[in-house]
Each structure stands twice: as C-alpha cells, then as structure tokens.
Amino acid sequence: MLAQLVEYARLKGLGTEPGFTSKEIRWLAGVSPAGKLTELIPLDQAKTAPDLSQPDMMSLPGYLRAQGHTVEQAAHFLADTCAVVFGLPEWDAAGNIRKPEEHAKNLQKHAAFRLLIQLAANDVPLLEPIAKALSDSQQVQAFLQKLEAQAQKRGPERLKSTDKISFFVNGRCVLDCPDWHDWWRQFRAQAFPRSGEEGQMPSFASGELVTPASTHPKVTRLGGSAFGHALVTYDKEAFESYGLSQGENAAVEEEAATAYRAGLDALLEKAQTLGEMKVVVWYDREIPEEDDFFRDLFAPSSGEAEELQALERAHRVLQALKTGQAPPEIRNSRFFAAALSPASGRVMVRDWQIGRLEDFVEAVTTWFEHLAIVRRSGDQSASLPGLNRLFLSLQRPKSREQKLDDYLKPVKTLQVPLWRAALNPRLPIPYAAIAKIMESHTAEVMTGAFSEALQAQKPDAAALGRIYARMGLLKAYHIRKGGSMSTALDPQHPSPAYHCGRLMCLLAQIQEAASESEINAGVVQRYYGAASSTPALVLGRLTRLSQHHLAKMAKDAPGLAYWFNTQLAQVWSALGPNLPRTLSLEEQSLFALGYYQQLAQSRKKETPQTQAPTTPSLFQE
C-alpha cells in the first residue's frame, strides 16, 4: 500500500519534498512594503507551506537555544494558527480566557514564530516587511483587535483561533513565492541532521536500502482530529522487541514517507463516506473519467434517466475491456482500494484491495444489476442507492437528538462486508444486514410508515429511497445465494414464501377496494408481522374473510373483481394446496419482496380495472 501511494503521488505530481506540505490557509495578514500590518484578507485555500514533523517540533527549541536564542516552545514557519501568529485567545461567555495555560504556551510559540521569520528575513528580502511588522508590539496589538472583531461574527465569516493564517506581501501570498524555499531547506538540514549510510535498512515503500525516517508525517485529511493521524506508528514497547527504535521498526525513507502522506491526503480530499469510514480508490495510471466508476458506487445518479445512462456506460466500458476494443494502457490498468477510519490519532486500515480495472468495472456493473428493483409505480426501475445511503437504510432513520456514532453502533460491523461485496460479485451479502433490514422493514410496515410512503401523492424521496434500497439489497442477497430474483414481479418464482407475500398484498387490496374507509392500513398493520412468520395461520383466515368482499365487488365493480380473481388464481397456482406453517428470516425477506413487487405490479397503468368478469369467483361456494 505504501509503495502504491508513493507512486500515485509521483504520478499526480504532488509535492513530495520533505519539509513541505499542503495546508488549509483560512486568512492572510496584509503587510505593506514599509512593514505595516494592513488588512485581514479571507482566503480559505490549500497552499504549499513549510512543514515540521512532531519530532522536529520537539527538538526545534533545543536547536534554537544552542544557537544562542531564548525560546521555550516551537512554532511552524510562515503559517500557523491565529493563536500562535498573533496570540489570539479564546474567550468564554464571561469574558475570560477559556484555556489560560494553552494561551500562555501559544504566546511562547508566537515568540518562536517571530524568531523564525527574523532569521529568514536576514537572507530573504521578501520577508523583511513581515519581520518588521511582527517586531512592533503596538502593530501586533492593533491587528489582534481586528482578529477579535472577526471572531465575533457568525457563520462562515467567523474567525477561530485555530484557523491558519499567513501573510500577503507585494500583491502575493508569501506561500506562493519560492524565495524562501532554499533558506528553509538549509535550515532544516542544519537543525535536524539525518543519520549516515551506516544506519541503512530495506525500505517498506521501495525495497531499496535507505536511511529510515525517525518518524513519519501525519495524514491530515482523514478528519476527527486537527492534529492529523499517523499511518505508520511504532510508539509501543512491543514494536521495539528487536532493539530497534522509532522508524527503524518500519523503515521508510523521509522522501517516501512525505510522498505517501501527500498521496493519501490528496485521495482523502475526494474520498467517499461509508458509515464512519473514508473510502478511496485510485489507479496505477491515468484513465479517462468515463472509465472511473468509483463515484458511481456512491452516487449512481440523481434520476432514472441518468442512472440508466451510467449503467449502459458501464456495460459499454466492460464490453470494450473484455473484447480488446479499449486501448492497451486502459486494459492493463490496475485499481487500488482502501477503507480507512481514524482511531486515537492513527489511521486504521479497515480494508485493502487490488485488482484489474476490468474487475472493478464488472463488479460495479454487477452490483447495480443485483440492486435494481422496480419502483412503486411498477413501470420502471427505481433509482439505485449509493453505497452509503444503502448502508444507512439498514436501520430506521437517525433522530435529530441522536449522535452519529451512537446511531452507527448497531451496524458498524457491516461497513467492511458491504464494501467488499460491492467490489466482489462472488461475495455474499452479509446475513446480519438482512436481519437488520427485516427488523426495520417490519417495524415500519406495522406502524404504517411503509404504506404511507408508497401511497403518498407527494412522494417523500428519503422514505422511498429507504424502501428501494432495502428491497434492492434483499434481492441482491438472494441472487448471491444462487437464487433467482427479477427486478419486477416474478409469477414463476420457486419460493412459496415469495407468493405468500403476494397473497398478503392482494388480500389487503381487496379489503381496501371493498370499503370506503382505509381498512388496508389496518389489515397490513395488524396482520403483516404474523402473516410473514406464520402464513398458514393468518393468510388462510384472511382469504376466507375476503370472500364476501369479492362477492360484493362482483356486483358493484365486476371488472375489478375479475382482475383480483385472476391475480389470486395465479398466486394460488404457484402456492399449491397448502400454505407454509412457518417462515425463516430468509423466507420472510422473500415474503417482503413478494409483497412489494405485487404492489408495484398492481399499480401499473395498464392494469385492467374495468373489464367484465368472464369466470366465476374463486371464492364462490
């Protein structure tokens, strides 16, 4: 994984030189050529800035003191937080400094920041106005008042003490000027000398003999901590059992460590979310955007037409890869996929997969085909769910008061299995995912939420999306177990449980059609749970109760009665003479699919509602 991240960073031309990194700069302090602090400029952009690792920060004060300077804390060069660069405190509601000890340390860091600027200004004329401005305490105090005024604002304009700030001189951000680069390289080489060739070891990233970096730079784009997360760590005693210290336990040269961090941070900027994980996918060469289906896994489309186009595009790309029509450099491409999450300052690699681009495209295509389900109107397929929406649909929606971590706890173990199933058509859908779906689905059916979402004149996109996602995943589960499942109603399905669900749907519709009141909701809410687990006990009784409704309907609406009788005849023909006594959880999921697909089929516009019956009712004595 490290080697592939290093290669990705080089392929993309990312800044991989040690001592430099990309930082989010929120503000710029304007400085005139005469050394006067002028305006505060909002920026909110990533800039290439000087970088010090944590060990470098720890050793910097000692190096500066050895050079005859008085410093107590370390600071970054040219860009740091507003709390460090200008000593901006954080106030509480009573007007007191919120963290006095931390503020005192930040003032010491401010002294170190100012010292670094002064040292650099001796060799870099560009920085002389900044050094002059920071040495004027009255100017600094006046500018601090501007920062505090901005900190009182609300919304996106609000400034925080942790926002990073740099300087604007001669019409440019100083971070965009290369004038200081050579000074910074020389300063790092003197302040943090590296060991010689006698300490060389095989690199985990390149396999070559290298001098290991004592520590590695932290990944900054994973979220969850402003201090970043370490991908390679060795700070536990167990890692030093062979007498090796720090980076010797996972030898990676400083250049490669900087490169893998730059590559992973770049990937995390466009990562997709799956539960509490960040998922990244990249390739060993540049491929056309239309051949990259990673985004489609999480956002198939915003509508059926776009979705159909994406699926057709996947079929075309897959066909081109399989038949050799695609260029050789595309056919030979490989993909790399990692699922990551933060864990106490470390990067937890939850999954790592590699393979051919053709395998990836085939997996996405198959995943979409397995998830496809008819929409409630019965006339075409529903919008496919993105992978994260599918995952969140396993259980009922999160309440406003509920924290996301608490909400994800019951299903967090399913994140990785679902991700792996999406990338490998041969892997099953986890049984635990089906159990969670059936728990949520049955509860919503029996509370009326399921029927309400399907019958609403003005559709609730979120509620319908959950239904489509759940039904699609139930369908995919049975397909991957070797079963036969179609997108829409399948009158020839081999499972009695599936046809029991169809029967339940028809019986509920008969009672609704025969009554002016909303009896259907009552029938479904009262009997669905029992019918899906003990169909012989419940459906037989409901069938007998429906006879007088059909008899009445034959007089008032003969065409409708004929249609119901025809549908019931099909279901009973598939069921046979006896209803199942009990259904397992898997069979209950087939019951749910049969119920839903029968309901969608009943709503197709071409369904005959007025044709006169030509055969006697199935339930006539």
Q: What is the pLDDT of residue 264?
A: 96
Helix, strand or coil for residue 220?
A: coil
- Asked whether the predicted pLDDT for residue 619 surpasses 90, the reply is no
Is residue 402 predicted with pLDDT exceeding 90?
Answer: yes
| Percent of the chain whose pLDDT exceeds 70 | 93
In the predicted structure, residue 80 carries a pLDDT above the cut 90: yes
Q: Cα–Cα distance between 372 and 508 in angstroms, integer?
A: 26
240: confidence class by pLDDT, cuts 50, 70, 90: confident
CA–CA dist 618, 547 (Å, integer)? 9
| 197 band by pLDDT with thresholds 50, 70 and 90 | low
Which pLDDT band holds residue 310 (cuts at 50, 70, 90)? low
In this structure, of 270-274, 492-496, 609-613, the range with the lowest mean pLDDT score is 609-613
C-alpha to C-alpha distance for 322 and 357, rounded to whole angstroms? 11
pLDDT in tens, 131-147: 999 999 999 999 999 99
Average pLDDT, stretch 15-35?
90
Q: E strands along 287-427, which residues? A: 334-343, 346-356
Work out the widest C-alpha separation in the chain, in whole angstroms.
Answer: 108
- Which of 212-226, 319-333, 524-538 tops mean pLDDT? 524-538
Highest mean predicted confidence (pLDDT) among 361-375, 520-534, 549-563: 361-375
pLDDT at 95 over 80: yes
pLDDT bin (cut points 50, 70, 90) of residue 492 is very high
Q: Structure tokens of 322? A: 């399989």
- pLDDT of 610 > 50? The answer is no
What is the structure's pLDDT at 516? 54
Q: What is the pTM of this model?
A: 0.79
Position 90 pLDDT exceeds 80 = yes
What are the DSSP calls for 247-289, one per residue? GGGG--BHHHHHHHHHHHHHHHHT-EEETTEEEEEEESS---G
pLDDT value, residue 315: 80
In this predicted structure, the answer to whether residue 613 has a pLDDT above a threshold of 60 is: no
Mean pLDDT of 420-429: 96
Residue whose entry in the numeric block shows the structure tokens 């106490």: 344
Tell whether the model's pLDDT for residue 305 goes beyond 60. no
Q: How far is CA 376 from CA 385, 529, 593, 601, in A?
A: 15, 21, 12, 8
Model confidence at 485: pLDDT above 80: yes
**Mean pLDDT, the chain, as a whole number?**
88
Task: Please say if the pLDDT value at position 406 is more than 70.
Answer: yes
**Which is higher by pLDDT, 246 or 466?**
466
Q: Which of 141, 149, 159 lies closest to 82 in space, CA to CA?
A: 159
Per-residue confidence band for 89, with pLDDT thresholds at 50, 70 and 90: very high
Contact criterion met (CB below 8 Å) for 501 and 524 = no
User: Is pLDDT of 362 > 60?
Assistant: yes
Count of other CB atoms within 10 angstroms of residue 116? 24
- Burial of residue 536, with CB atoms counted within 10 A of its CB: 0-12 exposed, 13-18 middle, 19 or more buried: middle
- CA–CA dist 84, 372 (Å, integer): 54
Residue 198: pLDDT band with limits 50, 70, 90 = low
Cα(590)–Cα(483) distance, rounded to whole angstroms? 11
Q: What is the pLDDT of residue 308?
A: 52
- The Cα–Cα gap between 378 and 583 comes to 27
Instruction: Confirm if 4 and 143 have CB atoms less than 8 A apart.
Output: no
Q: For residue 436, is pLDDT > 90?
A: yes
Rounded Cα distance between 491 and 569, Å, is: 11
Give the pLDDT score at 463. 94
> Which one has a higher pLDDT value, 513 or 270?
270
Report, as an integer, the average pLDDT of 291-295.
Answer: 85
Q: What is the pLDDT of residues 522-552, one digit of tens each?
A: 778 889 999 999 999 999 888 888 887 888 8
pLDDT in tens, 98-125: 889 999 999 999 999 999 999 999 999 9
The predicted model gives 354-373 an average pLDDT of 93
**Which band of pLDDT confidence, cut at 50, 70 and 90, is reported for residue 615?**
very low
pLDDT of residue 375: 93
Give the percent of the chain with pLDDT over 90: 60
pLDDT at 85: 96
Q: Lowest-pLDDT range, 201-210, 388-397, 405-414, 598-607?
A: 598-607
pLDDT band at 173; cut points 50, 70, 90: very high
Q: Sorting pLDDT into bands at 50, 70 and 90, what band is 301?
A: low
Buried b (16+ CB within 10 A) or exposed e, 90-111: beeeeeeeeeeeebeebebbbb
Query: What SS3 state is found at 332?
Result: coil
